[in-house]
């Protein structure tokens, strides 16, 4: 049987011009070998690999462009290991930033130890809702999605995290209106890729288009900003992840539908305008 180190070298040789990353190989090996973390991959590198045939098949999938998270069926989000499938977006680092910013910004307006009502619109795998509920156990967190298949994955993640988060199916704010939920915070990472050409092939080919592409005639930004008054009891904070190219569009929505608000755009760590926070008094 080949050793772990030999199999890694082979895979890196094969994937040299195809963008195969050593970190992805270590993630696969950690899962296959039942190691606790990636450190164990280094520490056991000279041992025989348990199932080289499985690893080689996974490497073939990586070579054809499939994201490692889909091969593993899981992704890491702010320390939470979440199930992901072809029905959910793979949660991204930018969305981790959105959550981190929200944990800084929300306490400017409220004592974050309060029982704030927070809704994650378009929850996908449940990543944002789970990270927020874990951070703020007192918050009453719910997640919504138009996709029943995505909600089933979110439900599994919520159950395995043991967090009380309610899930609702429906379009944008419609479930909150239906359930008579008044929110303090609405957070959303809506589909915002402006065109399929902008997405990398591994994204375009493997992630659900309903989670990816912005539609100027039917989108979460407009529905949420248009209907937010229907779910507002006191002050309300909206937190969006955005594409930088949507700034003029979003400015237009705010001036069309909102009054008595303040808004702040923030850049992500790559320097792109990526987040919009709107505080409605
Ligand atoms: C970009 S993904 C975000 C998933 C997850 N929140 C995350 O950050 O990883 C957008 C999600 O919004 C959902 N979605 C798309 N249109 C929607 C709508 N009109 N109402 C509710 N959810 C919608 C999609 O099914 C998808 O799960």
What is the predicted pLDDT for the residue at 182? 98
| Final residue in a domain of this structure, among 64, 96, 111 | 64
In sequence order, which residues have a C-beta less than 8 Å from that of residue 130 and are 6 or more positions away?
77, 80, 82, 157, 158, 161, 163, 165
Same domain, 210 and 117: yes
Same domain, 81 and 37: no
Q: For 29, how many CA atoms within 13 A lie in the half-sphere containing its CB?
A: 26
d(CA 233, CA 116): 12
Residue 196: Cβ within 10 Å count:
12
Ligand 1: distance of its center to the CA of 275 in Å?
16
In a domain, 49, yes or no: yes
In a domain, 161, yes or no: yes
The tokens for 250 are: 């979003």
Residue nearest to atom 14 of ligand 1 (CA): 122
The whole domain housing 40 covers 4-64
Q: Which residue has the tokens 């609405």?
A: 186
In a domain, 70, yes or no: no
CB-ligand 1 contact for 98 (6 Å cutoff): no
What is the predicted pLDDT for the residue at 106? 97
Ligand 1: distance of its center to the CA of 212 in Å?
8
In a domain, 233, yes or no: yes
Residue nearest to atom 4 of ligand 1 (CA): 124
> Which atom, in ligand 1's list, is nearest to the CA of 90?
9
Same domain, 58 and 137: no
In a domain, 32, yes or no: yes
Same domain, 12 and 95: no
Same domain, 28 and 156: no
Same domain, 82 and 29: no
Helix, strand or coil, per DSSP, at residue 35: coil
Q: Which residues pair with 183 in a beta bridge?
A: 232
In a domain, 51, yes or no: yes
In a domain, 179, yes or no: yes
In a domain, 69, yes or no: no
Same domain, 57 and 84: no
What is the predicted pLDDT for the residue at 234? 95
| Final residue in a domain of this structure, among 64, 91, 107 | 64
CB-ligand 1 contact for 175 (6 Å cutoff): no
What is the predicted pLDDT for the residue at 19? 87
d(CA 39, CA 26): 9
Same domain, 87 and 42: no
Same domain, 131 and 15: no
Same domain, 128 and 231: yes
Same domain, 47 and 84: no
* Number of compact structural domains in the chain: 2
What is the predicted pLDDT for the residue at 161? 98
Q: What is the CATH number of the domain that holds 237?
A: 3.40.50.150
In sequence order, which residues have a C-beta less than 8 Å from that of residue 175 and are 6 or more positions away?
144, 168, 169, 181
Ligand 1: distance of its center to the CA of 123 in Å?
6
CB-ligand 1 contact for 134 (6 Å cutoff): no
Q: Which residues pair with 77 in a beta bridge?
A: 80
Residue nearest to atom 19 of ligand 1 (CA): 171
Number of H-type helices and E-type strands within the chain: 13, 9
Averages of pLDDT over runs of 10 residues in the chain (281 residues) are 96 93 97 95 97 98 96 97 98 98 97 96 98 98 98 98 98 98 98 95 94 97 98 97 98 98 98 98 96
Same domain, 107 and 205: yes
What is the predicted pLDDT for the residue at 123? 98
What is the predicted pLDDT for the residue at 141? 98
């Amino acid at each position: 049987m080949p050793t772990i180190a030999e199999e890694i070298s082979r895979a890196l040789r094969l994937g040299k011009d195809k963008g195969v990353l050593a970190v992805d190989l270590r993630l696969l090996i950690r899962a296959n070998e039942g190691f606790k973390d990636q450190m164990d991959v280094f520490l056991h590198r000279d041992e025989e690999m348990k199932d080289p045939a499985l690893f080689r098949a996974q490497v073939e999938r990586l070579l054809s462009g499939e994201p490692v998270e889909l091969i593993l069926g899981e992704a890491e989000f702010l320390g939470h290991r979440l199930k992901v499938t072809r029905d959910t977006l793979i949660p991204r680092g930018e969305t981790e930033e959105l959550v981190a910013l929200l944990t800084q910004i929300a306490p400017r307006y409220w004592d974050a130890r309060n029982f704030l009502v927070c809704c994650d619109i378009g929850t996908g795998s449940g990543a944002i809702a789970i990270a927020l509920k874990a951070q703020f156990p007192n918050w009453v967190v719910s997640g919504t999605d138009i996709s029943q298949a995505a909600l089933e994955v979110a439900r599994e993640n919520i159950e395995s995290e043991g967090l009380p988060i309610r899930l609702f199916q429906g379009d944008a704010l419609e479930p909150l209106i239906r359930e008579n939920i008044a929110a303090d915070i609405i957070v959303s990472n809506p589909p915002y890729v402006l065109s399929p050409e902008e997405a990398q092939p591994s994204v375009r080919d493997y992630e659900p288009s309903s989670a990816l592409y912005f539609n100027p005639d039917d989108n979460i930004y407009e529905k949420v900003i248009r209907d937010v008054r229907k779910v507002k009891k006191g002050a309300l904070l909206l937190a969006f992840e955005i594409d930088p190219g949507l700034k003029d569009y979003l400015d237009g929505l705010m001036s069309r539908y909102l009054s008595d608000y303040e808004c702040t755009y923030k850049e992500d760590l790559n320097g792109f305008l990526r987040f919009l926070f709107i505080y409605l008094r």
